[in-house]
Structure 1
Amino acid sequence: MASEGASGAASGGQLQEKLDLSKETDAKIEQARTLVNAGQLPEALALLSALEKQCRVGNDNPSLVRVCEESLKLCRQVGDEDAMVDTIQSLVTRRSQKTSAVKALVQTALPWCVEEPFAPLPVSTDSEIAFRDRLVVVLRDVTDGKLFLERERAQLTRALATIKEQQGDISEAANVLQDVHVETYGSLSKKDKIEFILEQMRLTLAKKDFVRAAIVAGKVSKKNLAEENMKTYKVQFYTLMTIYHRHDKNALDLARDYHAIYLTPHILADGVKWREALQATVVFLALSPYDNEQQDMLNRIALEENLEKLPACKKTIDLLLKKEIINYPMTHQAELEALPVCHEGGEDLAAHWHEVFHRRIIQHNIRVVSVYYKRIHGARLAQLLQLEPARVEKEIASMVSEGSIYAKIDRPKDIVRFSQPKTAEAVLSDWASDIDKLLNLVETTTHLIDKENMTSS
């Protein structure tokens, strides 16, 4: 007969009695193993089931955990899949089952279907695959809604998504992962969370659900990606973001993505990878609309030492930063457009980038002309830009609409005015400023003359 132990936690106003059933557990586990070796698995499970109830009622948690683990191991030893599933479902749903027992059941069965951290177990035969898939589903049902098993649920969910993907059902795989808000799980490390979110992003993008992909991407902290041990995840994240921004045809965001990849230490250490990343950064900067951020990035890229090793990229940056008209096609433009990043997404997207390249050069040239000319004949402007007058007028109208330049076109006289007329207040302010400067000059000159007279006398 088991000896009586110390009193336990209070329940219903009374102290729960704790029993020490370790000796009885040792004896019955050994007896169950003997029965299994004799081919009597049902009898062994019945013996352990009765022992499980004694341990649960007697609040002997260590022995309870041992009994639950042994029950599953015996099923595994025999290879009886149905018995294993029935045992899990039966033990988990027992009245007042201890959390330690449920956790032990899940953690014992988990290595039989999931590898660390989130991959399903590689299997070879059809029967092994069927058992793995069945066990993943059963364990996911067990972990549903249990905070103490949130890490295990994340692993099982990731494994189920991989199984769906292997079966060719990308949409369902993405839907499975969407149900898990891993960013709220306190038991997962930052690396595990980011790895899980990156997988959510990958499947969501594969499903072509770009709206949800943007929402998921917002869960990733850029600060965490900047940490030394996160550099691999940083490259994965920004590589996925290039897919999203390429779909949006957002050249400036693509330039930011590739620049972030380029600045990663292990990319800088790889001669091939940093070249690809820096070339892509320059290409998409050239394709970006003119604004302060684009100009800031151009100036920062121009200071990169590695740019000297990429003549086509350096020449392109220099041309875009100079206030000079660029001839079309631009020097080395064919080399830049032949890069693989310009052809990712299909030939239609490559044709789009080619057209945008032409537009950016035209817009650059118009901005240069607006700096040096207050007004110019439309025919002369078209001649300088080597374009049809209608195309020039269209681009000027577009730039004025975007607010990047000021211009007015007088069609009857064929004159384009780039100087903005001043208001009466502005003219008066300029006049007052000029008078102030003149008086300062007069005062300074008078002082110098007086000083010279005093010195000579």
Structure 2
Amino acid sequence: MDAKLSQLQNVGQKDKAQAYLTLLTEALAQSDGAAVARDVHTILQNALTETHVGQVVQRQVLGTLADRLAGGLIKDSSLKKQVVEDAIAIAQPAGNVAAQHFEEQVNNLRFQLADLLEEEEDWSGAARVLMGIKLDSALDDAKRKVYIRIIRLLLEEEDSVQAETYYNRALSLMNAPGVSQETQLHFKLCQARISDYSRKFLEAATRYHEISWMGIVDEEERRLALSAAVTCAVLAPAGPNRSRVLASLCRDERTASLPSYNILTKIFLDRILRPAEIKDFEATLKQHQLAKIAVSSNDRLAASRADDADAVDVAAGETVSTRTGPSTVLDRAVLEHNLLASSKVYNNITFRGLGALLDLTPGAAETMARRMIEQGRLKAWIDQVERLIWFEDSKEEDDAQGKAGGLGEVDMHTEDTGAPFTKKWDRQIRMTAANVEAIVQHLADKNLVSFTA
């Protein structure tokens, strides 16, 4: 091969391209994989680095190799991967300014290499290959597709931090006109998954539920999106915003067929969750949804503080929990929900009683209640002298739109998530009856009507 290449130095530029392509065809036609890789490397090294070869010829040689590899000329994926990686390394060495002349050909090779790595489930490797693609002169549609694919690969590797960087790049291109429905779907799925990995479960649940209604998605994929929406809604922070999402999911008749439907309805109806139910649900969670959470030093100090009443209980043989806070994302969601559910049952509760209910120390139970009150997710007040939490009742009737459990005022104008129609009908009947009674009383006061026994 070296001898044949040395003869091309004196060949004119018009014939030189055909001569290199002939050698490339002979090299690719060999049955020995090692010989193919070796000869292709020699040809590319000579064609792309020798000064007597013009840029037009170089692009022809590299482009022809990329086209033939894309056409399936090499069946062995490991050999094809070796040839593609070698070609990229020769055509785009670090610090080579001339490599920009092969941008189109190298991008073609990088897409093929990314496909090979994705087949091997090397998600991070495929993402890194796509990150090296030059998109300066590419159309917006091509940029969107590359960014979305990188996001998807990074999320498969659970690298949500770097995925968010490329998500922001894609976001700036999504408002342009002419974005295909398929691209919008992939982008919305990326949005939902990034919110999920970032523990923004409420936002993720809303986006997953939206995707589950899109007609262009397969039935099985819609079911998976709906299941993901239920999971994220359960893991979301307890409060009025979650109540609205839960109401929307419970009204969706498709959720009745999901394995998580039981825990969904119990949370929606503000029922206290039992350990056995939590364990079954925990088995369905992904790794990032079981992440450990750290307890701050201040919370740990407050949770470990004990008073005389706690000491008396311990001396009397009563069991007092030693847990100083939730350990996982699921644990925190369940504890907050049970605290919210207890506000529907009790008018007030002691720190010790709440701690026994939540399996926390009295100080940790107080800390959790205080934080939910501060964030407006629990309507209550704390009497630290008597060591009591007083739950405040809402004067208006609770409904599924966010006022459950005395959680405070919610803006009801932006979105009607649908209190049950029967409750709306009942309110109308009560108002009508009250108006009729007022009219009759007014007529009786004027002696215009009389009532007989």
Please classify the TM superposition score into its range, dividing by the shorter chain length. 0.5 to 0.7
Superposed, 1:380-419 pairs within 5 Å as: 382=354, 385=357, 390=362, 391-419=364-392
Query: Could you say which structure has the larger radius of gyration?
Result: 1
The structure 1 residue matched to 2:338, chosen from 362, 374, 390, is 362
**2:85 is the counterpart of 1:133:** yes
The letter for the 2-side match of 1:402 is: Q
Superposed, 1:45-444 pairs within 5 Å as: 45-46=8-9, 49-50=11-12, 52=13, 67=15, 69-79=17-27, 80-81=39-40, 82-90=42-50, 94=54, 103-113=59-69, 115=70, 123=76, 130-140=82-92, 144-146=99-101, 150-159=103-112, 175-180=128-133, 182=135, 184-187=136-139, 190=141, 192-201=142-151, 204=154, 210-221=160-171, 227-230=180-183, 233=186, 237=190, 242=193, 247-256=197-206, 258-265=208-215, 267-270=217-220, 273-310=221-258, 313-322=260-269, 324=270, 326-329=271-274, 332-339=277-284, 342-345=285-288, 352-368=328-344, 373=347, 376-378=348-350, 382=354, 385=357, 390=362, 391-419=364-392
Please report how far the alpha carbon of residue 283 of structure 1 lies from its aligned counterpart in structure 2 after TM superposition.
2.2
Gaps of 5+ in 1: 1-35, 53-63, 421-440
What's the Cα RMSD here? 5.0
**Do the aligned partners of residues 366 and 226 (structure 1) sit closer, same or farther apart at CA in structure 2, a change above 3 Å counting?**
farther
Please report how far the alpha carbon of residue 362 of structure 1 lies from its aligned counterpart in structure 2 after TM superposition.
1.9
1:61 matched residue in structure 2? none
Structure 1 Cα separation of the partners of residues 123 and 384 of structure 2? 57
CA contact (8 A) 1:161 1:174 kept: yes
Please report how far the alpha carbon of residue 357 of structure 1 lies from its aligned counterpart in structure 2 after TM superposition.
4.0
- Aligned to 2:378, the other structure's residue is in SS state coil
1:17 matched residue in structure 2? none
- Aligned to 1:154, the other structure's residue is in SS state helix
**Do the aligned partners of residues 223 and 121 (structure 1) sit closer, same or farther apart at CA in structure 2, a change above 3 Å counting?**
farther
Which structure: greater helix fraction?
1
Please report how far the alpha carbon of residue 285 of structure 1 lies from its aligned counterpart in structure 2 after TM superposition.
0.4
Please report how far the alpha carbon of residue 215 of structure 1 lies from its aligned counterpart in structure 2 after TM superposition.
0.4
The letter for the 2-side match of 1:404 is: R
CA contact (8 A) 2:343 2:391 kept: no
The letter for the 1-side match of 2:331 is: E
Structure 2 Cα separation of the partners of residues 409 and 129 of structure 1? 65
Structure 1 Cα separation of the partners of residues 218 and 119 of structure 2? 34
- Aligned to 1:265, the other structure's residue is in SS state coil
**Do the aligned partners of residues 378 and 231 (structure 1) sit closer, same or farther apart at CA in structure 2, a change above 3 Å counting?**
same
How many residues are matched? 355
**Do the aligned partners of residues 267 and 349 (structure 1) sit closer, same or farther apart at CA in structure 2, a change above 3 Å counting?**
farther
2:422 matched residue in structure 1? none
CA contact (8 A) 2:21 2:61 kept: no
User: Deviation string for 1:242-286 (max 9, x for gaps)?
Assistant: 3x556544433443454355334355523xx44443233212201
**Do the aligned partners of residues 68 and 210 (structure 1) sit closer, same or farther apart at CA in structure 2, a change above 3 Å counting?**
farther
2:311 matched residue in structure 1? none
| Structure of greater relative contact order (alpha carbons < 8 Å, 6+ residues apart) | 2
Query: TM-score of the superposition, structure 2-length normalised?
Result: 0.59
Structure 1 Cα separation of the partners of residues 20 and 352 of structure 2? 87
**Do the aligned partners of residues 143 and 156 (structure 1) sit closer, same or farther apart at CA in structure 2, a change above 3 Å counting?**
farther
Please report how far the alpha carbon of residue 112 of structure 1 lies from its aligned counterpart in structure 2 after TM superposition.
4.3
**Do the aligned partners of residues 230 and 410 (structure 1) sit closer, same or farther apart at CA in structure 2, a change above 3 Å counting?**
closer
User: Deviation string for 1:11-68 (max 9, x for gaps)?
Assistant: xxxxxxxxxxxxxxxxxxxxxxxxx9xx984587346x32x2xxxxxxxxxxx5xx46
1:32 matched residue in structure 2? none
CA contact (8 A) 2:59 2:105 kept: no
Please report how far the alpha carbon of residue 76 of structure 1 lies from its aligned counterpart in structure 2 after TM superposition.
1.2
The letter for the 2-side match of 1:305 is: E
- Aligned to 1:417, the other structure's residue is in SS state strand
**Do the aligned partners of residues 88 and 328 (structure 1) sit closer, same or farther apart at CA in structure 2, a change above 3 Å counting?**
closer
Please report how far the alpha carbon of residue 176 of structure 1 lies from its aligned counterpart in structure 2 after TM superposition.
4.8
Please report how far the alpha carbon of residue 223 of structure 1 lies from its aligned counterpart in structure 2 after TM superposition.
6.5
Please report how far the alpha carbon of residue 195 of structure 1 lies from its aligned counterpart in structure 2 after TM superposition.
4.3
